[in-house]
Structure 1
Amino acid sequence: MFAEGNPEVLVVGAGPVGLFAALHLAKQGITVEIVDSGVWACKHSYALALYPQTLNLLREVGVLDRLMSNAYPVRNLALCDRNGTRARVRLGDASDPLGCLAVVRQDVIEDMLEHALREAGVAVHWRHDISALQPAADHVTATVDRLEKESRGYVVAHTEWVVGRRWDLQTPFVLGADGYNSRVRRTLNIEYPEVAPAQYYAVFEFETDAKLGDEAHIVFGPGTSDVLWPLPGNLCRWSFQLTDYHDSVAEEMKDRLLRSGFGYFPTERPKDRNEGSENKYPAVLDEKHLTDLIAARATWFHGSIEKIHWRTVVRFEHRLAASFGQHRTWLAGDAAHLAGPVAVQSMNIGLFEAHEFSNLIAGILRGRGTLADLDACGDRWHAEWRRLQGLEAPLQAVAETDPWIAEHAVDLPGCLPGFGAEVAQLAAQIGLVSPPVHSKTAVP
């Protein structure tokens, strides 16, 4: 049930970014409600690693210790070709427990954040959708739909989700963290164009006897960027870019939307969030194709392929919203950007966006800031994402840069786990220079 009265902030979307935003606001004494149109939290998703700087955010809201007890620490990135490692990037000081990528699946992250949110007195309202937002000078009116199952059909019975109740609430601020098909973004009429061609990846999680240590591996080939993640429990995940694969249904849907003038709608990305999700395996997910990919692209991987726990093909689009919001309604995470899969950027950086927007909103509600602060925040993140998407200030090689690194400099912004100054520091280890981003204020 919703609390009595109107919340100070309505968070839309209960993925990691939305859950973190709601928790961070609640910890600051802000009354918050969080809704999600899904039936329950996702059971499996692509995102699986948290940056060293992200871990400090989770410590701030009190979930770090529990999370790290479930995580696999990765302290180095091995940059490879098909024959082996060509360079390494060190992610932090070996003496620092948080100087690592914490490899932990998104569903585990969401479970921990939702548990902490309940302890803070805030429940996620699953099966609730926002069908309309009406801005006013000092608030936003949000129309909330509670979804319910309804049985239909006479000869062939079936059930479907329908609106069981609809009501309006008024809130000073809305934060949309409702994913790539964001209803919040669409109600604001913010364009969401593709900024680079989409990429297909075949993803395999399986048991293995490979000794991967504390390294993740990024493998560059002719026109491909693949990644190998070590996982807890003697598991690993290989993600292989499929340069000659196209989902005809997804591509046809995209073309139909373009012909109809709706070029800013992303295609579906599987996350196993809804009841009744099914996996259908195309031929590219056969175990033989997995072994063929390893043999062709990573001759150095000699680990066994035992039970495959998860396999899927994902279409990763590269999109950037025209803005991060306006006035009293703002976006964070996939609602504002989609990126490639290698560096898990959209989730990690989305958490920082949520952190900054939440801090500014809390300050405004308590008389310590103005709406102009939110405008400046949105501009900074938009400028940073232009760099991450390769639209501005790409990484540059210098005379001393290894030629192999220089050859792949254009691919590395989407592979290094960080943003802003952290990316510059990581890039410097392999002889690349990160030019400054053109924005009024540096991203914190």
Structure 2
Amino acid sequence: MPATVPPAPQVLIAGAGPTGLVLALSLLHHGIRPRILDKAAGPGTASRAMVVQARTLELYRQLGLAEAVIDRGIKVEALHLRETAAEVAQVSLQDLGKGLSPYPFALSFPQDDHERFLVERLAAAGVAVEWDTELAGFAETPDGIRATLRRGGSETEAAAGYICGCDGAHSRVRQVLGLGFPGGTYGQLFYVADVRLAGPFQPDLSVNLATQGFALMLPVRSRGMNRLIGVVPASLGDRPGLGFEDLRAEVEALLDVRVEQVNWFATYHVHHRVAARFRQGRAFLAGDAGHIHSPAGGQGMNTGIGDAVNLAWKLAEVLHGRAAPAMLDTYESERIGFARSLVETTDRVFRGAVSTGLGGRLVRRWLLPRLLPIAAGFEAGRHAFFRLISQIRIAYPDSALSEGKAGGVAAGDRLPWVAPLDNHAPLDGGGWRLQVHGAVSPALAAAAAERRLPLDAFRWTAAAGRAGLARDAAYLLRPDGHVGLAEPRQDPGRLAAYAVRHGLSFAS
């Protein structure tokens, strides 16, 4: 029989990739101590996720992580589009989202470095990842879950209020729940390599959309290396023991580089799947355990981190008794809809990028090189591209937590960022708060004070209007910075009704 260990904290996390690590850090930020384990011996060393999007940095700011992550990464300032051995277009990515986010850029920060950073931050907060520890199984009990953990040849039992599977595409949590993972696998075999190039360090993003292959290159600041990702030619896909030397000539030609050193090399297949459910009872799925898709647009890791932040504050509110248990239902309804939409979008982009048909060749060789530089020359074009990839457009209009609209901002939207006020500065991820741009009515001020609900008042500016905010409207903000209630008349009765409906107690 497995030996019994002391009761675990309230949330057990299986999987210590970026999703699980951010979930653990977010729970700690909300006063909930997690337990996190992973069957691997340590953080990954051959990961392929590279880009940290603006919305992730906004969420990291609430956790006090953003500046440290930016310092360790590198801002990608230009995109070089290549066709065969020639550059056909260059697009500036500097301040792509200026005026839309305090982080108007894409950051290159490889997942392996990213994971080590998060592990260090978690350890500094007093929580160590339990490596070499596998979740063997679990069952729900009347007041929580009971899990069996396997380390080496021995098993132990652990109790927790909830369990979250952040354990990747082959999630043990999802398997125990018996949830389907519908979707498919692309036929192409991909490679990823960490290399040192001859000549000066290349800090830009290069993409080759040649008919005979697909390759991209991103910078790795921590080691002065570059990450190469691409499609293995079909003629080599079945070669046993495939290595970088088999691809060297083609890769160097496609990207116009010479590789001096290969740090590591791996191959992988790309899948597109979304789990049937993200929640079943006291068990949740997040990150790759719930959704996997093509790497187009650098969305996968960022989506998992978004899952983690969304789930963490809701678990904390319920565990602290500050929200009704039904709050947890909104995790699945909010995140699974976005995951399904993302899989569809990245699937279309991916198929276009690797298509060898006439349509795909026209898009890659004619449309993109001509239209992208033109669009990037106008603010509207830059902003449209930034909104598309940065994840600041994520919204939950159909969520049970979303009510009302004021100006151009509807409940469920991410609170628009207003420069130079920086109205995101008060958002510390710690709890609910009100925000008003304009005059605050005495009735609303009294209602906020009575409920110990922080109220941030900003003077009205034209910039707030351009961002879509309504003058004198009250926006009740969730801990993740999305609008829960948009109230144009500052009606304290509507605020009270909203709190009662969701069982909210705003006092921390």
TM-score normalised by length of structure 2:
0.64
Instruction: Quote how far apart the aligned CAs of 1:117 are.
Output: 1.2
Answer yes or no: is the 8 Å Cα contact 2:205–2:218 preserved in 1.
yes
Instruction: Quote how far apart the aligned CAs of 1:326 are.
Output: 1.9
Answer yes or no: is the 8 Å Cα contact 2:75–2:107 preserved in 1.
yes
1:357 aligns to 2:333 (yes or no): no
1:203 aligns to 2:192 (yes or no): yes
Aligned position for 1:84: 87
Aligned position for 1:267: none
How many angstroms apart in 1 are the aligned matches of 2:347 and 2:163?
A: 32
Q: Which of 411, 419, 426 matches 2:385?
A: 426
Aligned position for 1:338: 292
Q: Which amino acid aligns with 1:29?
A: G
Aligned position for 1:236: 226
1:217 aligns to 2:206 (yes or no): yes
Aligned position for 2:424: none
How many angstroms apart in 2 are the aligned matches of 1:349 and 1:429?
A: 13
Answer yes or no: is the 8 Å Cα contact 1:387–1:437 preserved in 2.
no
Aligned position for 1:35: 37
Answer yes or no: is the 8 Å Cα contact 2:293–2:347 preserved in 1.
no
Give CA-to-partner distance per residue, 1:85-141, whole Å, 9 cap, x none. Answer: 447374635698733222222222122211211222212111222222212344222
How many angstroms apart in 1 are the aligned matches of 2:257 and 2:215?
A: 17
TM-score normalised by length of structure 1:
0.72
Instruction: Quote how far apart the aligned CAs of 1:309 are.
Output: 1.7
Larger mean CA deviation between 22-31 and 105-114 belongs to 105-114
Q: SS in structure 2 opposite 1:221?
A: coil
How many angstroms apart in 2 are the aligned matches of 1:384 and 1:116?
A: 29
Name the count of aligned residue pairs: 370
Instruction: Quote how far apart the aligned CAs of 1:195 are.
Output: 3.9
Instruction: Quote how far apart the aligned CAs of 1:329 are.
Output: 0.9
CA RMSD of aligned residues (A): 3.7
Which sections of structure 1, spanning at least 5 residues, go unmatched? Answer: 149-161, 250-279, 396-402, 410-421
Distance 1:81 1:374, change over 3 A: farther
Answer yes or no: is the 8 Å Cα contact 2:148–2:155 preserved in 1.
no
Aligned position for 2:138: 133
Give CA-to-partner distance per residue, 1:48-90, whole Å, 9 cap, x none. Answer: 2211221222232233333333212114444543342447374
Instruction: Quote how far apart the aligned CAs of 1:212 are.
Output: 7.2
Aligned position for 2:462: none
Give CA-to-partner distance per residue, 1:255-313, whole Å, 9 cap, x none. Answer: xxxxxxxxxxxxxxxxxxxxxxxxx9415x21x63222443xx3xx4333211222222
Q: What aligned pairs does 1:10-409 form with structure 2 within 5 A after superposition?
A: 10-82=12-84, 83-86=86-89, 88=91, 90=93, 92-93=96-97, 98-145=103-150, 147-148=151-152, 162=153, 164-167=154-157, 169-195=158-184, 197-209=186-198, 215-222=204-211, 225-232=214-221, 233-242=223-232, 244=234, 281-282=241-242, 285-286=244-245, 289-295=247-253, 298=254, 301-390=255-344, 404=363
Q: SS in structure 2 opposite 1:174?
A: strand
How many angstroms apart in 2 are the aligned matches of 1:239 and 1:424?
A: 27
Q: Which amino acid aligns with 1:27?
A: H
Larger of the two Rg values belongs to structure:
2
Q: SS in structure 1 opposite 2:318?
A: helix
Distance 1:10 1:316, change over 3 A: same
How many angstroms apart in 1 are the aligned matches of 2:37 and 2:382?
A: 34
Distance 1:210 1:379, change over 3 A: farther
Larger RCO of the pair (alpha carbons < 8 Å, separation 6+): 1
Q: SS in structure 2 opposite 1:309?
A: strand
Instruction: Quote how far apart the aligned CAs of 1:328 are.
Output: 1.6
How many angstroms apart in 1 are the aligned matches of 2:386 and 2:111?
A: 27
Q: SS in structure 2 opposite 1:378?
A: helix
Aligned position for 2:486: none
Answer yes or no: is the 8 Å Cα contact 1:393–1:437 preserved in 2.
no
Larger mean CA deviation between 118-127 and 134-143 belongs to 134-143
How many angstroms apart in 2 are the aligned matches of 1:7 and 1:370?
A: 21
Distance 1:391 1:105, change over 3 A: closer
Instruction: Quote how far apart the aligned CAs of 1:381 are.
Output: 1.9
Answer yes or no: is the 8 Å Cα contact 1:318–1:339 preserved in 2.
yes
How many angstroms apart in 2 are the aligned matches of 1:248 and 1:304?
A: 25
Answer yes or no: is the 8 Å Cα contact 1:227–1:342 preserved in 2.
no
Q: Which amino acid aligns with 2:300?
A: S
How many angstroms apart in 2 are the aligned matches of 1:362 and 1:182?
A: 24
How many angstroms apart in 2 are the aligned matches of 1:119 and 1:229?
A: 30
The structure with more helix, counted as a fraction of residues: 2
Answer yes or no: is the 8 Å Cα contact 1:392–1:437 preserved in 2.
no
Larger mean CA deviation between 301-310 and 331-340 belongs to 301-310
Using the aligned pairs only, state the percent identity. 23
How many angstroms apart in 2 are the aligned matches of 1:436 and 1:61?
A: 19
Distance 1:6 1:230, change over 3 A: closer
How many angstroms apart in 2 are the aligned matches of 1:28 and 1:177?
A: 19
Answer yes or no: is the 8 Å Cα contact 2:96–2:382 preserved in 1.
no
Aligned position for 2:428: none
Instruction: Quote how far apart the aligned CAs of 1:360 are.
Output: 0.7
Distance 1:105 1:428, change over 3 A: closer
How many angstroms apart in 2 are the aligned matches of 1:439 and 1:360?
A: 17
Q: Which amino acid aligns with 1:227?
A: L
Answer yes or no: is the 8 Å Cα contact 1:75–1:94 preserved in 2.
no
How many angstroms apart in 1 are the aligned matches of 2:366 and 2:138?
A: 47
Q: Which amino acid aligns with 1:381?
A: R
How many angstroms apart in 2 are the aligned matches of 1:404 and 1:88?
A: 17
Answer yes or no: is the 8 Å Cα contact 1:383–1:439 preserved in 2.
no
How many angstroms apart in 2 are the aligned matches of 1:94 and 1:408?
A: 25
Distance 1:127 1:206, change over 3 A: closer
Aligned position for 1:9: 11
